[in-house]
Amino acid sequence: MTEYTTRVLEGVRNKNAHEPEFLQAVQEVISTIEPVLSAQKKYEENCILERITEPERTIIFRVPWTDDAGRIRINRGFRVEFNSAIGPYKGGLRFHPSVNLGILKFLGFEQVFKNSLTTLAMGGGKGGSDFDPKGKSDTEVMRFCQSFMTELQRHIGADTDVPAGDIGVGGREIGYLFGQYKRLRNEFTGVLTGKALNWGGSLIRPEATGYGCVYFAQNMLATRGDDVSGKVCTVSGSGNVAQYLVEKLNQLGAKVVTMSDSNGTIYDPAGIDAEKLAWVMELKNVRRGRIKEYASQFTGSQYMEGQRPWSIPCDCAFPCATQNEINGEEAAALVKNGCKLVAEGANMPTDLDGISVYLNAGILYGPAKAANAGGVAVSGLEMAQNSQRLNWTREQVDAKLFDIMKNIHENAYNHAHEYCKDCTSDFTNYVAGANIAGFVKVADAMIDQGLV
């Protein structure tokens, strides 16, 4: 660490001591972009690190609603508008009981660099609530969303801040949120992404994060003359990202042997093929059931209560559930069992120890802000279609997503090889490459726009 980065990190730690996930995300970025900070003094002279680690604006609000029994419930709502140097704030909303300011600041901070990598004009933001949609009726979810949007609407807009989905926020929630925005503002605009196709959504948006993550993995494998066909893959999660990631892996001839939820993991050595995946989609999206039921449905599979998938031997691992779901020991187990690639569909699923394990082992490691950027990239394409009042075809959007992921890989690869001493003809430090590439674009825009 240099004097500058040590000082900034110390300051961030002092100011945000009670936000461990935010500190983790900041430490990962600051410790890897040092080569560019040393080469280009303008960033230090303009106090870019001090500024980029402070959200431009944080909104915290009360969300009152009534449940089906008529009882009054109160949740806390948030929107962290982190950085608008390269475009309107853009990023998802998370509804989960674990949500707090520190978690949304980590997600908003990551989003700044991720959105920069997409090549589209989007700043970074994130929001959500400690509301738990599990076990709630549709009408309860609707009343909650309406109350949440009643406050949020005064802070967002198609050219200001454009939220989308994340954990616990899918098509149903985006629908209720959009309906309330339109009612209060009397405007039909692209203020949210992830909309349904019949009222302004984009084809491929639901698929985009999962598909994009597999495209990124393919690009990494290609640097070693390899591809995913025939690979045994472990996947965590069974939500939006995991489902479409499994779909794409199946299409490309890989075999996926695990999926999970917050209660446990199912292991199916025969592979979760297209037919079984269709059953999982119905289970999770329509019946809103638990992954445990898979083991009773499909013989030869087993349910591992309270366990994550990382002890199962695989060639490639795709964490698609949540932050810090792979620690140092689990990363070491993956490597020991022969895993050659980790591509992150979730945000910050590997902790700092786990990342060191991957880098020391020299495996192909695609960090979240590069590997899962396909979701927000297609959100950017949804915004473009809304502005044009036109809809592109499935093939057009998928081709653009494919090119964007190729571009992100190339950009991260080139920045890694330009700046990082540990890169060789056979090893690329994509963590540093993605962080540096994402940082430079935002930092230069901040300098251009003066001290704001």
Closest CA to 317 of 327, 309, 329: 309
- Looking at the Cβ atoms of 90 and 255, the one nearer to ligand 2IT is 90
By CB under 6 A, name the one of 345, 375, 433, 438 that touches ligand 2IT. 375
166 binds ligand 2IT (CB under 6 A): yes
How many angstroms separate the CA atoms of 104 and 80, rounded? 7
376 binds ligand 2IT (CB under 6 A): yes
- Looking at the Cβ atoms of 238 and 411, the one nearer to ligand NDP is 238
From the DSSP assignment, how many helices (H) and strands (E) are in the chain? Answer: 18, 12
Give residues 138-177 in contact with ligand NDP (rule: CB under 6 A).
Answer: 165-168, 170
By CB under 6 A, name the one of 108, 200, 201, 239 that touches ligand NDP. 239
218 binds ligand NDP (CB under 6 A): no
Asked if 404 contacts 217 with a C-beta cutoff of 8 angstroms, the reply is no
Whole-number minimum distance, CB 96 to ligand 2IT, in Å? 12
- Burial track 113-136 (b if 16+ CB lie within 10 A, e otherwise): bbbbbbbbebbbbbbbbbbebeeb
How many angstroms separate the CA atoms of 133 and 151, rounded? 19
- Looking at the Cβ atoms of 153 and 323, the one nearer to ligand 2IT is 323
By CB under 6 A, name the one of 150, 347, 429, 435 that touches ligand 2IT. 347
CB atoms < 10 A from the CB of 394, how many? Answer: 11
User: Residue 116 binds what, of ligand NDP, ligand 2IT, none (CB under 5 to 8 Å, by partner type)?
Assistant: none
Instruction: Indicate the residue whose CB is closest to ligand NDP.
Output: 239
Type of residue numbered 201: G
Catalytic residue among 126, 248, 255, 284: 126
Helix then strand then coil, in percent of the chain rounded to 5, is 50, 15, 35
Contacting residues for 201 by C-beta, under 8 A, at least 6 apart = 193, 194, 195, 382
By CB under 6 A, name the one of 164, 291, 339, 405 that touches ligand 2IT. 164
126 is catalytic: yes
By CB under 6 A, name the one of 209, 219, 385, 435 that touches ligand NDP. 209
Whole-number minimum distance, CB 233 to ligand 2IT, in Å? 21
319 binds ligand 2IT (CB under 6 A): no
How many angstroms separate the CA atoms of 377 and 121, rounded? 10
Asked if 312 contacts 258 with a C-beta cutoff of 8 angstroms, the reply is yes
How many angstroms separate the CA atoms of 451 and 52, rounded? 12
User: Residue 168 binds what, of ligand 2IT, ligand NDP, none (CB under 5 to 8 Å, by partner type)?
Assistant: ligand NDP
Binding interface with ligand NDP (CB under 6 A) = 165-168, 170, 209, 237-242, 261-263, 320-322, 345-347, 372, 375
**Which parts of this chain interact with ligand 2IT (CB under 6 A)?**
90-92, 114, 164, 166, 193, 347, 375-376, 379
Catalytically active residues, by annotation: 126
